[in-house]
Amino acid sequence: MDIYSIFKKIAFSTDPERVHEISMNLFSKYPQFAAFLSSNPSSQNLKCSDGHMTWNSPVGLAAGFDKNAEAIDFFSKIGFGAVEVGTVTPIAQKGNPRPRIWRYPDIESIRNAMGFPNLGAEEVLKNILKSKSRNCLGVNIGKNKETSISDTPNEYAKLYEKFAPVADYIVINISSPNTPGLRDLQTKDAFSNICIAVNEKREINNKPLYLKISPDLANENIFEMVDLAKEFSLSGIIATNTTTQHNYGAGGLSGKYLENISHDLRSKVCQAAKEVPNLSVIGVGGISSVDHLIDFWKQGGDFAQIYTSFIYQGPGILKSINQELEKLLKKYQTKNLQDLIQYFKTLN
C-alpha cells in the first residue's frame, strides 16, 4: 500500500473540507513533501503549447483546489504541467455555510456548494509573489456574492489588472453554480459587458485570457460564448465547470458523474472553435486517464485539467499519465508531445 492510499483511507473517514484545510496547510509549509508523493517529474518531451502559453505537461491542476495560492510550489513539484489558483474575488468572503463538500466514492465524484470562499485579491497576490515556482500559473477570477450585475464588469476588470502582471494566464469564471446569478452572465449582453471592461486593461498588459463555462449551457449559449471569444480575442475556453444536472442536493457535481456531460459539451465547443483561428479549448470535468486525453485531442482540444480524479487517485494519476504518454511517443515515433497532439487532432 503506497503513502497516498494510507492517507486516503484516513482522510475519507473525516470531513472533506477539514481534511482539505489540513492538507493545504501542510503543502503550503512543506512543498518539499511532494518528493515523497511523486517520483516521476515531467520530461522535456511532454511540454506542449496551445499557441498562447506552454505547460510542462498536458495536465494541469484545475481551479478550486488551491483557492488562495498557498501551495503553488507543492503542486508544481508534484508534476502538474500548470497550476490554476482561485477562484479569487476582489474582497475576501467566507462562502456558503458548512457543510458544503460531499464525497460520493461509489461514483468517484464530489459535490460542492462552496460559493467562492477565499482570502481576497490582496492576500492571494501576496501568496503568488512568495511562490518560487516557474510552472505556468493561471489565476481564476470571479465576482463577490453581493456585487450587483451593473458593477460586475468593473470587478472582473480590476481583478485582471491586479493579476495580469504575475500570472501566465487569467480565467474569467462565470460558470460556478454556487454564486447566485453568476451563470446568468453566460449570455451575449452580460458577457460582452465584462469583455469590454476587461479589454481596456488588456491594452496595458495583455495576458492569455480564457473563459470557463458551465456543462449545463444550452446550445445557443455555447455558440454565443464562442462568437464572443472571437469578437474579443480571447485565447480559449475552459470546458467545463461542475454540473447541476443531478439529484444529490445543492451545488455542482464533479468527477466521473460529470464525465459524459462534460465530454458532450466539449465536443460542441471544439467543433465551434474550429471556426475561430487560434481559439484553444482546455478540457476539465471527468478526465482521469490517458484515454480521456486522447479522446479530447481527437475532438480538437489542447490542455486538460483535473481536480476530483486527483483526490480519488492521488499523485499516482500524474505519474501514470506521464508514463503512458512516454510510451505513446515511442509508439507513434513522435519527437515530442506537441507533435503527438497534432497527430490525434488530424484523426477527427
The residues annotated as belonging to the active site are 176
Alpha-carbon gap, residue 183 to 176, rounded angstroms: 7
Letter string b/e over residues 139-174, b meaning 16 or more CB atoms within 10 A of that residue's CB: bbbbbbbebeeeebbbbbbbbbebbbeebbbbbbbb
Angle at 186 between CA 136 and CA 167, to 5 degrees: 15
- Contacts of 343 by beta carbon, 8 Å cutoff, 6+ apart: 332, 334
* 243 within 8 A of 206, measured Cβ to Cβ: no
Angle at 301 between CA 202 and CA 224, to 5 degrees: 55
Region class of 95: left (phi > 0), else alpha (psi between -120 and 50), else beta:
left
* 88 within 8 A of 140, measured Cβ to Cβ: yes
Alpha-carbon gap, residue 212 to 198, rounded angstroms: 15
Letter string b/e over residues 82-98, b meaning 16 or more CB atoms within 10 A of that residue's CB: bbbbbbbbbebbebbee
Of 35, 216, 168, 180, which is closest to residue 27 (Cα–Cα)?
Answer: 35
Following DSSP, what letter does each residue of 284-337 receive, concatenated?
ESS--SHHHHHHHHHHT---EEESHHHHHHTTHHHHHHHHHHHHHHHHTT-SSH
Q: What's phi and psi for 243, nearest 5 deg?
A: -110, 150
At residue 110, what is the residue type? I
At residue 98, what is the residue type? R
User: Residue 109 forms beta bridges with which residues?
Assistant: 104, 255
